[in-house]
Each structure stands twice: as C-alpha cells, then as structure tokens.
Structure 1
Amino acid sequence: MIKNKKYLILAIIFFFISMALNFPFPHEYPAGQELSVALGFPITTMDGLNYIGITGLILFIIGLFFLVKSLEIYHKRMVLIALALVAILPLEMVNAYQKTFATGIYAIEYERGESNYTFEMKDDTTLYAVCHLPFENHSNETVQFNIEFYEKYLFEDDYPMLSLLNEAGPYKVTLQGKERKVVTIEREINLAKLRRGGLSGQGWGINLMIVDGEKVRKL
C-alpha cells in the first residue's frame, strides 16, 4: 500500500504544520495569526486576503500531493480521510484538552454563538445594556476571571458599542468545577460623559476576552 515512506512522512509534516497554523486555541483566531502578530508579520492584505489561511491551505495541498505520491492504492479514500481529519481533528483536540489537562481560564469554553446583547436608551443620556454570555468550566477546580469586550469588525461609520461596556466594568465571573452558567450583565451607561448621542441595537456572537492576571484569551 505504501510506495514511498519519505513522501508519507513529508505529507504528515505538511499536514501537521497546516493544522498548527490554524489551530483554534487558546484564542478564537488561529494560533498562526497570534504568532504573526508577535513577530510583526502582516496577516491580511488590503484586499482582505488572509496570509495565514492561504499559507495553511497551500501547505495542506502540498501534503495531499505527497500523500498521493506515497501510496500505491486507495488515493481517493486517503485524500477524503485527510480532509476529514484536518477539518475535525483540531476542534476535537481542543475539546479533549479542555476536558482533561486544562486548568484556569484555559479550561473555560465560551459558546459565542449562543451569546446575545440588547442596547436601548432609558432616557436621553442613559444607555441600558443587557448581555447573556454562556460559559462552561471543564475543569474540576473553581475558576475566576474578568470579562472585557472588544469589536472584531468595525466599519468606518460604526461606533464601538460593545466596547462601551468596558466603561461600566470590571465584570468578575466565578465558575465552580464542571459548572455551566449563562452570565447576565446588566448595566446603565452615561453617554453624556462619553459625549455620545443615543444608541440602540441588538445582536449575537459577542466578542470578548477573559482575563486572569497576565493570562488572556480572546474569544
């Protein structure tokens, strides 16, 4: 079945590097993006192309090439298996790590897709904000952390609404071992102090950071 072991080893190496660049932990964005920021490398072009994603895809295609070259038979079958592994394995590895070895904020899972917020004006200058944030602590230990909000995508005419919540912070959360909890944040924010007019809106998928001392996860 195996025609060339060297090609097979090369295929595994390229698959590993491709997955490592796009590994979704400890932040919501891939690990390769964090490394690029730390080293000062550009992540995206002016056209919105993601260098990390493109690099990972190219390495994965090279890995497929060597995989096919290394086998005598079952080429299509093994390509499909490789595609499935690259798509599923990183998330399963994160899930397994959080449920076994992870401690502190690294054991915390944030279900961003289930989060939501509502902003409405209580009067001319007071903004009433409500957020629902689902968390789960996969460890057996009690974990404490603070929540900070940030804007992931902000267009030219947009105002950073979620970041306004930081004005009314900090927000301290405590999760017992194996506890799953929807954290509800309710705050009134004085927009007059911020020299900002009326705001309102609602949405889902809140971007936030969980912070414990110098440890930070951007989710």
Structure 2
Amino acid sequence: MVRNKVALIGSAVILCVCMYLYFPFPDNEMIDARSTFMSFPISNQDGYNMLGIFGSVLFIIAMILLVRGINKYHFRTIVIALFGYTLLPVLLITMYQETLADGIAAISYDGKGTCHFEHVSEDVLNGECNLLLHNRSSEMVSFEIEFLDSFFRDDDIRMESLMNVNGPHSITIEANREKSIQLKELLNLSDVPNHIFGGTSMNIHIKLIDGETTRVL
C-alpha cells in the first residue's frame, strides 16, 4: 500500500506545521476571518492574510504528497486525513484542559452564544446575552468576561461589545462543571457613538480576563 515513504513522512510533517500555524488555543485565531480554508483565515478586515494563504498552499501540498505516498485507497485516505486534521486539535485541547490546565486555560466555549438587544428609548437598550462555558479543571475558576464584536462592519457600528458598558462581568465556575451564563443589562448608550438600535447576534465572541492573562474565544 505504501508507495513512497518519503512522501508520506513529508505529508505528515507539513500537516503538523499547518496545524501549528493556526492552532486554536489559547485564542481563537479565526475570530476576524472573512474567508477561510480549512483552519486558515484567507482574508480579514485588513485584506488578504498572507500567512493563511501560505498555510493553505502547504496543506494542499501535504494532500498531494499523501496521495503520492500510497498505492490505493486515495479517496478514503484523504477523507480520514481531513477528519483527523479537524478533530485532533479539539482532542488535544480537551486532554490538556482536563489534565494540566488551570485558570482560564481550562475554560472551553462551544461558540454558540447569542446576544439580543431591544430598543427602549433613543439611547437606551435592553441587552441580553446567553452562552455556555465549561470548566474542565478540578479547581474553581473565577474570571471576567468582555464581549467582542463578532465581525467588522464597514461603518464600525458596535453591537455585542455594548454589553461591556455595564461591565466588567465577573463569573465563577465550579470544578468540572458546565455553566449557562445569562446576562441581562439595561444599557445607557448616551456616551457611546455608532451603536445599534436593536437586533440579535449569533455565535458571539468573548474575551476571558484573569489579571494579566486573557483568552479570546
């Protein structure tokens, strides 16, 4: 089945390099991506991301070497490699968080949080955000949450980050526990320019803050 060991080894090495370039820990490297390929941000608010493009090219080269390194089962091998490349970082992060990590390094987020803003008056909104966090360590973790705008609008109108007006929001999660976070705030935005007047946002991004340590999820 193996046709070229050098090609197979080269493919494995290049895939490891690709995974290292944008490994999704401790921060979410895709937060400001506008177009992506696999785990690589091709473009963001500043234009094309050359490192992301370089990583994409490396990934394609790795797939070509993988195909050249085996005699048969090409399609099946590529599918397995794609699944492995996608799932391995998640497994490695989970293993680390459940064994060696402490503090906010042990906090995981499913990325499915939502924020809803309802108009009350000209400069007043009702804001509500819901998200699920998991403390995978064996110790209680306390930290602050800062909300980040999920994407960059051309007119720089603020949305999710409006919840920070009434911040900081302090959270404590017991050891080995999931916690559903629900924050409801009456937001006075009279001193905040370029804000929305209502709406809903899905898959929100957040920053965890513990003293000098931060994580972007």
Same-fold call, TM cutoff 0.5:
yes
- What is the number of equivalent residue pairs in this alignment? 209
Aligned sequence identity (%): 35
Question: Of 191, 194, 202, which aligns to 1:193?
Answer: 191
Q: How does 1:75-90 map to 2 (within 5 A)?
A: 75-90=74-89
Structure 2 counterpart of 1:136, one-letter code: H
Shift of 1:68: 3.1
CA distance in 1, matches of 2:195, 2:63: 55
CA distance in 2, matches of 1:88, 1:110: 16
Structure with more of its chain in helix, by fraction: 1
Q: How does 1:9-158 map to 2 (within 5 A)?
A: 9-29=9-29, 44=43, 48-113=47-112, 115-158=113-156
Deviations along 1:171-214, whole A, 9 cap, x unmatched?
11000101111112122222223367872112221111001112
* Unaligned residue ranges in structure 2 (runs of 5+): 34-41
Question: Of 156, 164, 178, which aligns to 1:166?
Answer: 164
TM score, norm. by length of structure 1:
0.82
Give the match's secondary structure for 1:152.
coil
Bigger mean CA deviation after superposition, 17-26 or 92-101: 92-101
CA distance in 2, matches of 1:161, 1:104: 28
Shift of 1:74: 4.0
TM score, norm. by length of structure 2:
0.82
C-alpha contact 1:209 1:216 (8 A) present in aligned 2: yes
Give the match's secondary structure for 2:170.
strand
C-alpha contact 2:108 2:133 (8 A) present in aligned 1: yes
C-alpha contact 1:45 1:51 (8 A) present in aligned 2: no
Bigger mean CA deviation after superposition, 128-137 or 70-79: 70-79
Structure with more of its chain in strand, by fraction: 2
Structure 1 counterpart of 2:207, one-letter code: M
Shift of 1:148: 0.8
Q: Of the two, which has the highest radius of gyration?
A: 1
Bigger mean CA deviation after superposition, 194-203 or 168-177: 194-203
Moved over 4 A (4+): 45-48, 195-198
Bigger mean CA deviation after superposition, 66-75 or 165-174: 66-75
Structure 2 counterpart of 1:51, one-letter code: M
* Unaligned residue ranges in structure 1 (runs of 5+): 34-42
